[in-house]
Structure 1
Amino acid sequence: MQQNTRALRRASSVAEARNAVTARRPKWIFGTIAGGVIGAALTVGIVSAPAAGAETPDAVASFVTGGAAPLVKKADDAAIHISLAQDAAAAADAVTAEVAASGLDLAGAPAAVDTSDLTTWIDKLGDREGLSSREVTSLEAYVTSETEAVAAETATLQNDYAVAQQRKVEQEQAAAAAAALAQANTPEGAKATARQMMASRYGWGDDQFSCLNSLWTKESGWNYKAYNASGGATGIPQALPGSKMASAGADWRDNAATQIAWGLGYIDSVYGTPCSAWGHSQATNWY
């Protein structure tokens, strides 16, 4: 008796499950089957308006769309294409604005990225309601192609902008170096350079600088362009010949600091201190 009761319960559960599945089965499937007999037009009409909560079997979707992606998926793909295109356009516009604000010369390279075509395709794809799947696919291709072109132009503009920025930095550094050199090449600038250099390299103080100042004021007036036509002595320390100063730097003709470096080294090796060199100059009129 107990076994019979269990069997009846199982049979009842199976029947309830079968009824539930039957109740959830989309009514349009039966319409589709009927439409297959009546005609394709009726089939499309029924499939385009499925019952609420219905799920399209893969086989039916394939039959209706010819293997193409469902319209919902195409809509999602279009949204992705639009989002990527909008990001590319925004990036291009941002770089273009930054370049314009900088006022830098890009040496003839384009200073802007034209995003008008991409914006047009974005708008067209955004207004895709009522378009066929094939038309949406074509618009996606146009958007993708223009997105790639804008991204490539943006990368090129960023590179040209970076080069221009580096060029500006180098120009500013060169200008600063030239200004510093011009200052150092004045008599007062040369004296300041000599004072700093003799203290840091040789430990000579103000007393030795006083002697050095007297010595080189007599020799050249601290003029890095000084030249003795009769003997050929050159520069602030009156090196003879002037080419000796090349050992301190290739720019010895135009840089007072290079001449000073050579002159202090010469005084150190020959006389030991500027005051000793000045004493010799006073006694012999040369050093």
Structure 2
Amino acid sequence: MLLNRMSLRSTAAVGAATLVAGATFAVSAFTGDDVAPDMAASAATPDTEEPTADTEAAEATEAVEDVFFSEQLSQEEIQSLRTQAQEQRDAALGNGVQTAQVEGSDIEEEEEEEEVPVPSGDPKAIALEMVLAQGWAASEFHDCLEPLWEKESGWNPLAENPSSGAYGIPQSYPGEKMASHGSDWRTNPATQISWGIDYIKGRYDTPCGAWAQSQATGAY
């Protein structure tokens, strides 16, 4: 009979530890403070009669208290149960913090991968090379083509005239005309400059001829 009673007492103690841990963690999650098992009942009692997580925590704590009084647990056993409950709560909070840190790192990595590509290459260096390849003097670039396209677009391959729709470094109108020199005409300075050189050569013979027209009429 004594053995049965001791077995029942051990079983109740284990169950009590589990209930105390659940009740303590439920209340602590809302208060942010460490709550002793013997105070969980009053802190977890809701204002309404509808079953909630707090109500269940209070009921669990009352059941634990019944076990404590009926079995007459010693102070050492009660303290042991409280320590177990605190360790379970700390472990649960620690796992939550680690999970949040990992998820935050993943978000930062995804944001870093979403970068907008920027056109590469020095447009002026490309234009000077193309001017010389045509057999023109370097002065055709420095004295005429450079100021011409500085006026038109600031040598910006993404420049777009909001009123006319002219686009790119040479301000092609419409911009789709430059597709004859490459499908990447929207962002590639070399493609735009190649088209612009051919346009100037076919219409004004040289960059200085195009610059003279621009100075006289405001366009070329």
TM range (shorter): 0.3 to 0.5
Which has the higher relative contact order, 1 or 2, with Cα contacts under 8 A spaced 6 or more apart?
A: 2
Task: Point out the structure with max Rg over C-alpha.
Answer: 1
TM-score normalised by the chain length of structure 2: 0.45
TM-score normalised by the chain length of structure 1: 0.35
